[in-house]
Amino acid sequence: FPAGCQAYRGNILHFLNDPGNAPEPEPDSYEYYPDGLLVVHQGRVLATGPAPELISRLPGGTDIRHWPEGLIMPGFIDTHVHMPQLAVMASYGTQLLDWLETYTFPHEARFCQADWARAEASQFLDLLLCHGTTSALVFCTSHPASVNAVFEGAQSRGMALTAGKVMMDRNAPANLTDTARESYRDSCELAKRWHNRGRLRYAITPRFAITSSPAQLQLAGELAQAFPDALIQTHWAENTGEIELTRQLFPERHSYLDVYDHYGLLGRNTVLAHGIHIGDQDRHRLAQTGASIAFCPTSNTFLGSGLFDLGAARAAGVQVGLASDVGGGTSLSMLATMAEAYKVCRLRGQTLTPWLAFYLATLGNARVLQQEDQTGNFRPGNQADFVVLDPLGAPITAMKHRAGQSLQELLFDLMILGDDRAIAATAVAGQLLWQRPDADEQPAP
């Protein structure tokens, strides 16, 4: 290995492919190296493998960080989260449309102030990192300042972040709405400024059908043609009241999905949050177009929206990612998100193996965001975005860990019982940006 590389030692797990949802993961869908080594050079993965073997190939004096009980995995990816909604979390007692009107819209209005937006964006990104999340697809507000703030913060941290200005020109307070033309112009300027700048990408972001006029959705479709490799994100079929109002607003369209389809918003780069109240025709069309669903379980249960049918979506060939949807969601932790996903599956008579859950939060979500060429696993050449999961970080996971566990049991404990205490360290492009203050780190032997 060349001079100037860094090495991280611990138990290394990453996925090479979808493991499926059967009790045993698909053969060759993952690699696991108990006492493994992750070798990083200039921010990128050089190699992973058994530590005893690789250590002998390191140049003398190479710095090795060692977490003997730690599980080193690719950084988590969140495929749907709202930067301006940290303080909206835990808002009491409403369903989607009332929640938006009562809590969310008034709070998002504050992001017209650039100073406020910068401070919130910075806190948001630091919170992602301390929850082990290194990449995300992010909603900002309708104010361009909120988009600049999140991109500036992500750029200074080296994160692969995708974000966009919310387009909304109706059915919302005046201090949040734009016009169709303004939203096109602002989105276009922001995309020209930020899209594909380093690891940043732009996402065309109509909030949902209810808050966009047909003219605005038309222009969103034109943006998608102007920036063919930009992402497209919106909300879809989350709540029955939302679906009914959409039907009234777009009587000429034969389904909610057809609204987005009609305006050219469905393709491989499209991520639709929720997709709870849908049918086989919808699933078929998603599979055909390559559009993905972001499954947001803590949001869906908190807002009482419904239970996403993971089994039906996957059986139909729909690409599904996992997402926090903070502030409808109740945690930025992808571990907490996996736990809730498991419970939603149980309530649907299904299950969710820890293999599939951890795949979804890493490589699966990288695929949803079309960035598996740089994140999601430790393929050599990928950026070294990783998290160190620590079963000793909290009493209950520590107790169960000491009793001796298989890898599958450890993963399931982490996803059901884990929270931010399980995150000992988080690195972006080989830089350790978060280390739990008390993390049980030991010097190399």
Give me the residues that bind Zn ion (CB under 5 A), please: 273, 325
Which distant-in-sequence residues (6+ apart) come within 8 Å of 127 by Cβ? Answer: 86, 332
From 96-104, 185-193, 244-252, 353-361, give the range in contact with ligand GUN by CB under 6 A.
96-104
Q: Which of 240, 181, 150, 169 is nearest to 208 (CA)?
A: 169
Q: Pick from 82, 195, 285, 421: which binds ligand GUN (CB under 6 A)? A: 82
As a whole number of angstroms, the distance between CA 198 and CA 159 comes to 9
Which of 84, 221 has the CB closer to Zn ion?
84
277 binds ligand GUN per the rule CB under 6 A: no
Q: Which of 82, 71, 77 is nearest to 14 (CA)?
A: 71
Which of 100, 138 has the CB closer to ligand GUN?
100
State the binding partner of 377 from Zn ion, ligand GUN, none, CB within 5 to 8 A by kind.
none
Instruction: Specify the pairing of strand 201-206 against strand 270-274.
Output: unpaired
Could you tell me the smallest distance in angstroms from the CB atom of residue 81 to Zn ion?
8
- Residue 47, beta-bridge partner list: 39
Q: Pick from 157, 195, 207, 367: which binds ligand GUN (CB under 6 A)? A: 207
Could you tell me the smallest distance in angstroms from the CB atom of residue 312 to ligand GUN?
21
| Residue 412 near residue 400, CB atoms below 8 Å | no
**Cis-peptide into 327, omega within 30 deg:** yes
As a whole number of angstroms, the distance between CA 208 and CA 232 comes to 12
Q: Distance from CA of residue 40 to its chain's centroid? A: 24
Q: What is the DSSP string of 56-87?
A: TTSPTT--EEEEEEEEEEEPEEEEEEEGGGGG
Could you tell me the smallest distance in angstroms from the CB atom of residue 329 to ligand GUN?
8
Could you tell me the smallest distance in angstroms from the CB atom of residue 80 to Zn ion?
6
As a whole number of angstroms, the distance between CA 435 and CA 441 comes to 10
Tokens of residue 155, six digits: 């750029």
Which run of H or of E encompasses 260? helix 256-262
Footprint on residues 225-254 left by ligand GUN (CB under 6 A): 235, 238
Could you tell me the smallest distance in angstroms from the CB atom of residue 299 to ligand GUN?
5
| Residue 64 near residue 443, CB atoms below 8 Å | no
What is the 8-class DSSP label of residue 310?
A: H
State the binding partner of 104 from Zn ion, ligand GUN, none, CB within 5 to 8 A by kind.
ligand GUN
Per-residue mark of binding to ligand GUN, 320-359 (x: CB under 6 A): -----x--x-------------------------------
Which of 230, 273 has the CB closer to Zn ion?
273
Which distant-in-sequence residues (6+ apart) come within 8 Å of 85 by Cβ? Answer: 104, 107, 108, 326, 327, 328
Which of 232, 273 has the CB closer to Zn ion?
273
State the binding partner of 208 from ligand GUN, Zn ion, none, CB within 5 to 8 A by kind.
ligand GUN
State the binding partner of 207 from Zn ion, ligand GUN, none, CB within 5 to 8 A by kind.
ligand GUN
Which of 54, 209 has the CB closer to ligand GUN?
209
Could you tell me the smallest distance in angstroms from the CB atom of residue 142 to ligand GUN?
12
25 binds ligand GUN per the rule CB under 6 A: no
Could you tell me the smallest distance in angstroms from the CB atom of residue 305 to ligand GUN?
8
Tell me the site size for ligand GUN, rule CB under 6 A.
11
As a whole number of angstroms, the distance between CA 160 and CA 199 comes to 5
As a whole number of angstroms, the distance between CA 422 and CA 107 comes to 31
State the binding partner of 367 from Zn ion, ligand GUN, none, CB within 5 to 8 A by kind.
none
Going along 16-147, which residue ranges are E strands? 30-41, 44-50, 64-74, 76-82, 133-139
208 binds ligand GUN per the rule CB under 6 A: yes
Binding site for ligand GUN (CB under 6 A): 82, 96, 100, 104, 207-208, 235, 238, 299, 325, 328
